[in-house]
Structure 1
């Protein structure tokens, strides 16, 4: 992997991790078209640079993370469903992660749902911020479990979960970001540990690429989060629906054309 390729992947990660468009789908396209999807380091890289995107949420909302212990309690409650389901169904999840078609189909189905979201939740359009309860956090955490199906998007499932709990769009999106911090941190640490157990060594050149990737991902994610919140509150979900459908069709088209697509 070159520095240029590392920057491209980091930009993709930073742009798509917190948007409801499936970062997995975009990483498949980006890494496969650059011909680096099958490299062992690419798989490590796409996991490790998630630390940069996680840090972007803490940097943007640092006051919330030093607000109260109750805030952390709600995040912990929200993470529990995914932790339990992830342990119980890990083999099934790994099997799905090998199927690019599942990613494409979930992108398409999610896109159709997003075309309808504004109408379904139009009554909550101007809702004031709601006091989030532990029960709300747990139920949003249940929605997060749906994102274990590749292509669904963790952001998409948790935002929809927030809307179901009567949060307004801005509040639903922000809690989705907050919930990503412990969820992604735990998942990223586990995956890196697994790579270490398999004998992967982080040499000097690899460390440089990881540093660049995390810095780029951090900066791009901050810009993406700010732009997303602004756009979402003004225009809603419809554009993301059309975009998901387009990406899903692109992945299916590349797959049917014989392009070797790999999930990284």
Structure 2
């Protein structure tokens, strides 16, 4: 097996683990990284890999929040179990817009917007939006400070914001966090609900990509399976660190630094594209 290809997959796993949870767009970064670090594989495999590698990242959420997400935990009271079920039902409600709106446009968006410039533009636009939202909310007390205060209506609205992340470069976590903050959630609630919302979304997206990969006549060889496993494992361990860092960071900081990062990166990428084309 090509050691260079393995090193590239490890790097991609690190990028996924960092960018999946920080609101800076994991898919966007993976597309952009591919401009400079070409994985030696078919375009179909790389397209599928960029989505399925997210399974490693989402398993980090399952491990970190296993007790909070497990409605069958013996250590939970009846009330806590009911609250856990309620949380899962809210996650399901929040997924509905992505299923209804996202699935019909998935192929179209892949064909027309999984490209260099659209990613750079969305990085900048949502970077500006982060700064505007944080400035607007500065000094305000959140209306929703715990997950139990999150209503089904609020969950559905957050799900509508998640639809915006269908555009590469937007960031699923970025779109849902912005949406949650706009409608009155604390940063902590916005981040945690975004993590939980990612579980069914990423499993569903990965399953869809694998199905399309096989449907289009592709197959998994030993090399492809090993590369996927390595990428997922790296993304898992990096995600553990990043999630803990983010939840600690937002206790005393806002999201504006990520907005500025997006703007600067997007501007650099547009400049690079202009120079090289």
Q: Tell me, yes or no, whether TM beats 0.5.
A: yes
Which runs of 4 or more aligned residues in structure 1 lie more than 6 Å from their structure 2 counterparts after TM superposition? none
- Provide the residue aligned with 1:89 in structure 2: 105
- Provide the residue aligned with 1:256 in structure 2: 274
1:171 aligns to 2:189 (yes or no): yes
Query: Aligned-pair distance for 1:127?
Result: 6.4
CA distance in 1, matches of 2:158, 2:22: 17
Distance verdict in 2 for CA 1:38–1:121, change over 3 Å: farther
In structure 2, stretches of 5+ residues that fail to align are 72-83
- Provide the residue aligned with 1:240 in structure 2: 258
- Provide the residue aligned with 2:46 in structure 1: 42
Distance verdict in 2 for CA 1:37–1:141, change over 3 Å: farther
Query: Aligned-pair distance for 1:33?
Result: 0.7
Distance verdict in 2 for CA 1:95–1:20, change over 3 Å: same
In structure 1, stretches of 5+ residues that fail to align are 260-264
Distance verdict in 2 for CA 1:256–1:39, change over 3 Å: farther
Deviates more, 1:106-115 or 1:125-134: 125-134
TM-score normalised to structure 1 length? 0.91
Query: Aligned-pair distance for 1:99?
Result: 3.6
Deviates more, 1:32-41 or 1:58-67: 32-41
Distance verdict in 2 for CA 1:51–1:180, change over 3 Å: same
CA distance in 1, matches of 2:10, 2:48: 15
Distance verdict in 2 for CA 1:89–1:208, change over 3 Å: closer
Query: Aligned-pair distance for 1:93?
Result: 2.2
Report the number of matched residues: 259
Query: Aligned-pair distance for 1:202?
Result: 1.2
- 1:1-264 equivalent positions in 2, closer than 5 A: 2-36=5-39, 39-40=42-43, 41-67=45-71, 68-122=84-138, 123-124=140-141, 128-129=145-146, 131-258=149-276
CA distance in 2, matches of 1:96, 1:233: 38
TM-score normalised to structure 2 length? 0.87
> Computing the radius of gyration over CA atoms, which structure comes out larger, 1 or 2?
2
Query: Aligned-pair distance for 1:142?
Result: 0.5
RMSD of Structure 2 on Structure 1 (CA): 2.0
